[in-house]
Amino acid sequence: MKSILTDIIASNKKVEQAEKVAAAAEISNPTTKDSRRNFLRKTAVGGIALGGFMSMSTEDTIAQATSKVNRASKPSELKITDLRYCIVQNVGRTPIIRIDTNQGIYGLGEVRDGADERYALFLKSHLLGQNPCNVEQLFKSIKQFGYHGRQAGGVCGVEMALWDLCGKAYNVPCWQLLGGRYRDKVRLYADTPESNDINEFKEKIKFRTQDQGYTWLKMDVSIGMLRNSENSVVNNKVWGGGFSQWAGDYHSYANTKHPFTAIQITPKGLDEMARVVEDVRSVVGYEIPLSTDHYGHFDLNNGIRLGKALDKYRLAWLEDMVPWEYTDQWKTISDALETPTLTGEDIYLKEGFKALIEKRAVDIVHPDLASSGGLLETKRIGDYAEDNGIAMAMHFAGTPVSFMANVHCAAATQNFLALEHHSVDVPWWESLVKTTDGRKLIDKGYAPVPLEAPGLGIELNEEEVKKHLNPKDKSFFAPTPDWNDKRSHDRLWS
């Protein structure tokens, strides 16, 4: 009898072990649906008693059965244990951060493109030991350390990672935590391809719209295109004649705000700029919205003259004609033109958008989620704009981590128009991550919303990320103990 029982136990162990291996493999498979994963986990727990009774303790059986399964059994007991980073060389340098917890799950976030990872590392001492699911509470405690532009990158990157963690802990997508979704796919807008040959340009536009499937395009209409055209721009030589908007010292054209350059566009220059838009519009057609950006640094009077020259091409918007903080100038421009106006990619928090929205100084707000405050704050910006009859498009130029944060926010915001995709022609960009539910990251000019995948719905493809690290910092989520200690009392009131 004893021998028979021993044989039965041994046979059961083999069967149970085989089933555990098969179940673990299925749970780890990214194509496995969450409902199936939950069933397998419950089945494993349900079979624990027999194994514990016949061969080992219940505790040992549980440990063995779940040793390779990341699970958040008690979200209320989650604690932040670390914050680490790596820097991808994408559009400039783009830091990705990872927030770790005591339960083995982690959240991914992104410091805005072109920003410093130390904006996020600085916040680590305020986060250690905290429950990441208290997203709003933590956001309110750290938002004082953000500001407009790239200086918001740390706060926003942390907020993204907290939502990713919270979604994983409760096994729901981030859009669900924001209140639900309005759409199953998010419309994207992409830059027009470049070519000086009209026939080649036509082929590239055809590829962008028909093959890649983009239904919204954007082009630059810069005074830089007039650098070799005589009598097209006034006061250009004092600035070196190069019109670089991006690089230069403190006294350069690049770092001089629009009202202070005294640059003017002549009628000849306006005609040439309009001709470029006309050529592009003639190829794109009028079924596809065509937005414009990056005009150069000149004052609102020239902005109005340029806007009127382009009104007839029914552009989707004129972007960042003057710096965003000049609310009254924006109101003057918007009132003078038929073409919609848009700004906002460098504004931090809803408070920064309120004057533009309340005065209806622009027709569309354009937050960059990695500067505007993260997922929830950007949704609040969109909701406030909606209350005032204003639409929201979304600026984006980072990695797929921030991209997915934008997708979840866009899905949850009703007045959303389109999300920028700035790396559409970078062949390795999509391969930086893998979706946890097997969906495509981008499909025919749209981003499918992850309907069931928890959190942001992505994991890093680590080997691919390592291929594209910043050459000056190739560390990959190395420990950051120098940022553990909190050394100041940062409360803003006494």
**346-360, pLDDT tens digit by residue?**
999 999 999 999 999
Task: Give the H/E segment covering residue 411.
Answer: helix 400-411
DSSP track, 155-215: HHHHHHHHHHHHHHHHT-BHHHHTT--S-SEEEEEEEPP--SSHHHHHHHHHIIIIIS---
Q: Which of 40-54, 287-301, 312-326, 426-440 has the lowest mean pLDDT?
A: 40-54
Q: What is the pTM (predicted TM-score) of this model?
A: 0.85
**Of the spans 35-44, 195-204, 276-285, which averages the highest pLDDT?**
276-285
Strand partners, 265: 233
Phi, psi of 96 (to 5 degrees): -105, 135
For residues 14 and 89, give the distance between their C-alpha atoms in angstroms, rounded to a whole number.
Answer: 49
For residues 196 and 449, give the distance between their C-alpha atoms in angstroms, rounded to a whole number.
Answer: 37
Distance of CA 88 to the CA centre of its chain: 14
For residues 376 and 493, give the distance between their C-alpha atoms in angstroms, rounded to a whole number.
Answer: 25
**Which distant-in-sequence residues (6+ apart) come within 8 Å of 160 by Cβ?**
107, 108, 109, 110, 369, 370, 374, 375, 401, 402, 405, 456
Indicate the pLDDT class of residue 257, thresholds 50, 70 and 90. very high
**Which distant-in-sequence residues (6+ apart) come within 8 Å of 426 by Cβ?**
90
- From residue 270, give the alpha-carbon distance in Å to each of 196, 253, 302, 322: 19, 20, 10, 18
Distance of CA 383 to the CA centre of its chain: 18
Burial pattern 411-440, b for ≥16 Cβ within 10 A else e, equals bbbebbbbbbbbbbeeeebbbbbbbbbebe
3-state secondary structure 89-152: EECEEEEEEEEEECCCCEEEEECCCCCCCHHHHCCHHHHCCCCCCCHHHHHHHHHHHCCCHHHH
Nearest CA to 401 among 459, 464, 478?
A: 459
What size, in residues, is the chain?
494
Q: Indicate the SS3 state at residue 458.
A: strand
The strand pair at 264-265 and 233-234 is best described as antiparallel
Supply the pLDDT for residue 473: 96
For residues 206, 212, 217, 222, the Cα torsion angle rounded to the nearest 10 degrees is -80
Phi, psi of 12 (to 5 degrees): -60, -40
**Is it the case that residue 15 has pLDDT exceeding 60?**
no
pLDDT digits (tens, 9 = 90+) for 299-347: 999 999 999 999 999 999 999 999 999 999 999 999 999 999 999 999 9
Supply the pLDDT for residue 248: 83
Percent of the chain exceeding pLDDT 90 equals 78
pLDDT digits (tens, 9 = 90+) for 71-107: 445 899 999 999 999 999 988 899 999 999 999 999 9
Supply the pLDDT for residue 44: 52
Q: What angle do CA 436, 97, 145 make, to 5 degrees?
A: 135
The mean predicted confidence, pLDDT, of the chain is 89
Average pLDDT for residues 218-244, to the nearest whole number? 89
Supply the pLDDT for residue 38: 57
For residues 320 and 341, give the distance between their C-alpha atoms in angstroms, rounded to a whole number.
Answer: 8
Nearest CA to 372 among 381, 360, 363?
A: 381
User: Which has more pLDDT, 12 or 192?
Assistant: 192
Q: Indicate the SS3 state at residue 440.
A: coil
